[in-house]
Amino acid sequence: MNLILLGAPGVGKGTQAKLVMEKFNIPQISTGDILRSEIKENSELGQRVKSLLEKGTLVPDEIILEIVEKRLFKPDCFRGFILDGFPRTIHQAEGLEQILEKMHISNLKVIEIYVQEEAIIERLTNRRICSNCGKDYNLLLNSPPPNNTCIICNGKIIQRDDDKVDTIRKRLLVYRRETEPLISYYKKRNKFYRVNGLQEVDVVFEEIEKIIT
């Protein structure tokens, strides 16, 4: 199964991608996670993209396509994969088409998780993540764990720099301008499905499961 999870920042793509990964045993490929780990390691790539992530602007397509191509050719992707946060522009979608051709893959499904913008802003300003393992914490659902320490790895729980309200608005604008056109791109190719992301996490997952099985 080869799946793209599409949707604005904060609709729950990462959460759903992890559930699909666990149930179907295929890797979640999050370009945002890959970039954040490069920044954390202070690699050459990390240094190049750091300020772009802080501002909420997109990293150039060529950099992203190189990262994704390298990742998709790893053996754990041969049985399938979930793309989370990629593609984000028409040019990236076209680049992905070429990568998939090289991999002889034609069965791709695209699921948009949809949530209205006001609800997204509320969710993102209440999102915290573990600075070590990346686990998501939602302050709207639960109070933070004691001492702001991750329940999985004991890492420190922080707010992402780009989850502050001005940057969120910028990221939503970028989403509308650059990424939303992908909806009609994939609709034309008959690969497009939509689920309502305001439902409970389990219900969203059930709907995704129905689409992919």
Residues that bind ligand AMP (CB under 6 A): 9, 31-32, 35, 52-53, 56-59, 64, 85-86, 88, 92, 162, 171
Is the CB of 35 or the CB of 195 nearer to ligand AMP? 35
Q: Which is nearer to ligand AMP, 35 or 110 (CB)?
A: 35
Reading the block at residue 74, the tokens are 């790893």
Helix (H) / strand (E) containing 108 = strand 108-114
Coil vs helix vs strand at 111 = strand
Q: Rounded CA gap, 5 and 82, in Å?
A: 7
Break the chain down into helix, strand, coil percent, rounded to 5. Answer: 55, 15, 30
Q: Which residue is nearest to ligand AMP (CB)?
A: 32
Please state the closest distance from residue 35 (CB atom) to ligand AMP, in A: 5
Smallest gap from residue 45 Cβ to ligand AMP (A): 12
CB nearer to ligand AMP: pick between 128 and 210: 128
**Catalytic residue set:** 13, 88, 127, 160, 171
Smallest distance from ligand AMP to CB 85, Å: 3
What whole-number distance in Å separates Cα of residue 175 and Cα of residue 190? 22
Q: How far is the CB of 143 from ligand AMP (least distance, A)?
A: 24
Helices and strands per DSSP (H, E), number in the chain: 9, 8
Choose among 1, 15, 17: nearest CA to 105: 1
User: What is the C-alpha to C-alpha distance for residues 29 and 6, in angstroms, rounded to an integer?
Assistant: 13
What whole-number distance in Å separates Cα of residue 98 and Cα of residue 65? Answer: 10
